[in-house]
Amino acid sequence: MRPEHLTTCASLFVASVCVAVSMADERGEVVRYRQPLVTHIYTADPSAHVFDGRLYIYPSHDLDNDTPPSREGDQYDMEDYHVLSWEGPGTAVTDHGQALHLKDIPWASKQLWAPDAAECNGRYLLYFPAKDREGIFRIGVATSSSPTGPFQAQTEPLAGAFSIDPCVFVDDDGTGYLFFGGLWGGQLERWRTGGYVADGKVPAAGEPALGPRVVRLSADFTTTIDGSTTEVSIVDEQGQPVLAGDHSRRFFEAAWVHKHAGTYYLSYSTGDTHLLVYATGEAPTGPYTYQGPILSPVVGWTTHHSIVKFGDQWYLFYHDSSLSGGVSHKRSVKVMPLVYDDEGKIIASRP
């Protein structure tokens, strides 16, 4: 199924902001803002990074299956990763093929969900969640000499990391931080005591919401420092913790950290209110103060994203289920420009 391609204008709530898109080039299909980047497979949860002047996208790979949905997310039964790359507006996206498969991860049993990637001293690292043999989500790491793989997984998951949605942020001094965590199917609430509790519950509505976890990475980015994790604090404009019952602002999953004009931005999905929102802070580990929405709800249940500067333009990569006609676990990665106002606030957009 291939959607009609149109030149689209960005709905950025500011006057005269329109993005012109190239309609063709000699290599065939090119990127259209707000249209699927690729249509031959389903892709989701895009983590975008620039390596050596080219933009690489590390998505999850939704299978074309009919598994019934469940609170555990059984319908998201992914088994491999592909790597996409893009040279910028007016050029086609390249699918570099399978970069890592479940069968090649010694400790994992199923569900290769949203990954992320990083580069360290000429080596490329792929971070990924998967359930271990006991059905517990862990975070693994795989390495390659190329940003497109193939990647070789380490024999054990990362110590001190758990749940889902790894995000690696590398600060200006070269320090690497691993953020992770997601509620419900992502199991974050099962780790509230410091260990895994199978029947762990989310906080009550009037209690502070759970935040993502963060841990420093070793110098080679392949292990964590002392395995010690910290919960990231997200507060409101009065400095009070965002509450668990505040579903339009509280963290659910998909943490992403980037830095713009000296400020750290933590963006994330609110889950059942289907928003992408963001908060800002003065240090990568927080605390972060809630600022507002980035993207209104997309077609489909989940929303997951990344934010990256490529050339002189910031971009928001995200996914929706429009290509599959709204099937929540058959998603497609899309992209649109991201715009800041003069005060550094992200201008909210529509998908």
| Residue 24 covered by a domain | no
Cβ atoms of 302 and 269 closer than 8 Å: yes
In a domain, 34, yes or no: no
Q: Is there a contact between 288 and 281 (Cβ–Cβ < 8 Å)? A: yes
Assess if residue 35 is contained within a domain.
no
Q: Which of 320, 316, 318 is nearest to 338 (CA)?
A: 316
| Strand arrangement of the beta sheet that strand 253-260 belongs to | 234-235, 288-295, 276-281, 263-269, 253-260
Q: How far apart are CA 87 and CA 7, in angstroms?
A: 19
How far apart (Å, rounded) are the C-alpha atoms in residues 305 and 287?
A: 21
Contacts of 18 (CB under 8 A, 6+ apart): 9, 10
Find all residues with CB under 8 Å of 205, minimum gap 6, and list them. Answer: 243, 244, 245
Residue 25 resides in a domain: no
Is there a domain that residue 14 lies in? no
Is residue 26 assigned to a domain?
Answer: no
pLDDT at 121: 94
Domain count for the chain = 1
Phi, psi of 80 (to 5 degrees): -155, 175
Identify the domain containing residue 266 by its residue range: 42-338
pLDDT in tens, 134-185: 999 999 999 999 999 999 999 999 999 999 999 999 999 999 999 999 999 9
Domain membership of residue 132 (yes or no) is yes
Residues that are catalytic:
45, 253
109-127 pLDDT, tens digit per residue, is 999 999 999 999 999 999 9
Considering the chain, what percentage of its residues have pLDDT values greater than 70? Answer: 91
Ranking 117-121, 223-227, 268-272, 317-321 by mean pLDDT, the lowest is 223-227
Please report, for the domain that includes residue 261, its CATH number. Answer: 2.115.10.20
d(CA 259, CA 125): 21
Distance CA 302, CA 253 (A): 10
Q: Does residue 16 form part of some domain?
A: no
| Cα–Cα distance, 210 to 203 (Å, whole number) | 7
Is a pLDDT exceeding 60 seen at residue 7?
no
Query: What's the pLDDT at 1?
Result: 38
- pTM flag (> 0.85): yes
E-strand ranges in 34-147 read 42-51, 54-62, 80-86, 93-101, 108-110, 116-120, 123-132, 137-144
